[in-house]
Amino acid sequence: MSQPSTRTIVTVAVAAFAVYLGIYYWPVISGFLGLLASSLAPLALGLCVAYPLNILMSFFERHVLPGVSEGPVARVRPVACLVAAMLVLVLVVAAVARLVIPQLVDCVRLLVTELPDAAAWLYDWLASSGLVTPERMEGLAATLEGIEWREAAESVLSVAAKGVASAVGGVVSGVANFFLGVVFAAFVLLNKRRLSLQLGLLMDRYLSERVRARVRYVAGVADECFHRFLVGQCTEAVILGVLCAVGMALLGLPHAMMIGALTAFMALIPIVGALLSGAVGAFLILMESPVQALVFLVFIVVLQQLEGDLIYPHVVGSSIRLPGIWVLAAVTVGGGAFGILGMFLGVPLAAVAYRLLRNDVYGLGPAPERAHER
């Protein structure tokens, strides 16, 4: 058995020492990583905004004076296409908000108006059922008299003040990060060709031909899968929103257009978006008619089954060429691990992994690597 070389021993020793330093100074390292992550958050958000925005921008670029490549019109065209893409997104969000928010405000106002009557009805029901008796009320009153209300109020106000300050700080920070992210996304999209050229020059300078081919291959597969997923997800959302609005109109349920728009917007969250919009819709209808709310719940459950078993796997799954069973598996695993964000990103990531694995099995990898194998 051959003895390990001096280089191997030194490498193992340096790695072990690095692991020791990482464990010993982990609080400092984690603090630095947290500071770095918070500093890079606007840039990461900008890249996340730039990718779906680029789909709309590329659409306008393909259809708005595509033959013009020189002159002032060619220089203005990217800016015009970016502004048009942003306006489309803003108009869609504004239309959904215009349909949904007034109904939610009316619902909350109705709830506040009906709350005293509901409380009185609940007390009468508890008293008639024997759950509330004079003896129990006297015991409750004695318990309440023993509470130091001044200290409790000061404690609650202190916690509330800290919570409000933290919430305000979080909102201000979130708005600032979002604004910086949108600005960064605009700069990235307006300079995407130059950035692509610069990235290509860096790869040509520092990476071998085989590594460059593999990086471009993986990036191309990921771009195609995410692009198809976003387009398919939006298509599925529109189909689901239309089905919800039409079904509610046929059943004679109120707020059909509003709940349909909310369902389409929430359907951007895979699989469970319809359930979230269904809960809000049931709450709105409940304020007017409990019977109609029950009918709506049955309808939304049927629609959810239709979406989960038929619409989503076929519309989104076929667009990203991922079998329906893996779509459901990706949503389940992603949602269990990372919540709503995991549900949204689990499907395209699974599609990327599935495509790369399938191509590797059938020998459809990047061309330089196949030539090397031959």
The predicted structure's pLDDT at residue 35: 84
Judge if 181 and 294 occupy the same domain.
Answer: no
**254 φ/ψ sector (left φ>0, alpha ψ -120 to 50, else beta):** beta
* Cβ-based burial of 366 (10 A; exposed 0-12, middle 13-18, buried ≥19): buried
152 pLDDT band (50/70/90 cuts)?
low
The tally of domains found in the chain comes to 2
Cβ burial 320-341 (10 Å sphere, 16+ → b, else e): bebebebbbebbeebbeeeeee
The predicted structure's pLDDT at residue 374: 36
* Cα–Cα dist 365/69, whole Å: 34
Cβ burial 48-64 (10 Å sphere, 16+ → b, else e): ebbbbbbebbeebbeee
In a domain, 350, yes or no: yes
Which amino acid, 226?
F
In a domain, 172, yes or no: yes
pTM above 0.85, yes or no: no
pLDDT higher than threshold 60 for residue 111:
yes
* Cα–Cα dist 29/18, whole Å: 12
- Cβ atoms of 329 and 291 within 8 Å: the answer is no
The predicted structure's pLDDT at residue 372: 42
* Cα–Cα dist 270/311, whole Å: 11
How is residue 80 written in tokens?
């015009």
Which residue, chain included where needed, has tokens 């109609």?
A: 292
pLDDT higher than threshold 70 for residue 165:
yes
The number of beta carbons lying within 10 Å of the beta carbon of residue 214 is 16
Domain boundary, last residue among 206, 230, 263: 206
In a domain, 122, yes or no: no
pLDDT higher than threshold 50 for residue 60:
yes
pLDDT digits (tens, 9 = 90+) for 242-295: 888 899 889 888 888 888 888 887 777 766 666 777 888 888 787 778 888 889
Which residue range(s) make up the domain with 77?
A: 40-93+157-206
Query: Mean pLDDT, to the nearest integer, of 47-69?
Result: 83
Judge if 219 and 237 occupy the same domain.
Answer: yes
Which of 226, 263, 253, 248 minimizes the C-alpha distance to 352? 226
In a domain, 108, yes or no: no
**Per-range mean pLDDT, top range of 61-70, 107-116, 315-324, 329-338:** 329-338
144 pLDDT band (50/70/90 cuts)?
low
The predicted structure's pLDDT at residue 139: 62
In a domain, 254, yes or no: yes
pLDDT digits (tens, 9 = 90+) for 348-368: 888 888 888 888 888 776 654
Query: Mean pLDDT, to the nearest integer, of 225-233?
Result: 84
The predicted structure's pLDDT at residue 271: 60
How is residue 301 written in tokens?
């459950």
In a domain, 12, yes or no: no
